[in-house]
């Protein structure tokens, strides 16, 4: 079985097809290290195409500015979201059209 190659376009297509996925799911699908997946996600995050939310109860969006220590919301930087979610729970990412 051939593993999918991680490119910005391939990640976009996968998220569009699946609806949402965690970083670990993306890492497994592309057989790529988490740091590499995070790099491609940062590209799309910077462009405003990725939405991150807590995978916890109530489907609260992580982008609430008050929820992050930096106060910038997820549109500020993927690192802030990653740091916040490391404390609370794993982020689930979805493509924004």
State residue 1's pLDDT score: 55
90: its two tokens: 């794993």
DSSP string, 3-62: PPP--HHHHHHHHHHHS-EEHHHHHHHHT--HHHHHHHHHHHHHTT-EEEEESSGGG-BT
Q: Which domain holds residue 76?
A: 8-95
49: its two tokens: 């195409």
Domain membership flag for residue 2: no
Domain membership flag for residue 1: no
How many domains in the chain?
Answer: 1
Predicted TM-score of the model (pTM) = 0.63
Domain membership flag for residue 3: no
CATH of the domain at 74: 1.10.10
pLDDT tens digits, 4-47: 899 999 999 999 999 999 999 999 999 999 999 999 999 999 99
pLDDT tens digits, 52-68: 887 654 444 444 443 44
* Residues 30 and 6: beta-carbon distance below 8 Å: yes
């Amino acid at each position: 079985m051939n593993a999918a190659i991680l490119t910005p376009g391939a990640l976009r297509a996968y998220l569009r097809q699946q609806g949402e996925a965690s970083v670990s799911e993306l890492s497994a699908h592309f057989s790529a290290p988490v740091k590499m997946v995070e790099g491609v996600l940062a590209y799309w995050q910077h462009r405003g195409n990725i939405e991150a939310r807590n995978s916890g109860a109530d489907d609260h969006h992580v982008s609430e500015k008050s929820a992050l220590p930096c106060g910038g919301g997820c549109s500020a930087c993927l690192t802030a979201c990653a740091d916040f979610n490391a404390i609370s729970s794993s982020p689930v990412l979805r493509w924004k059209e």
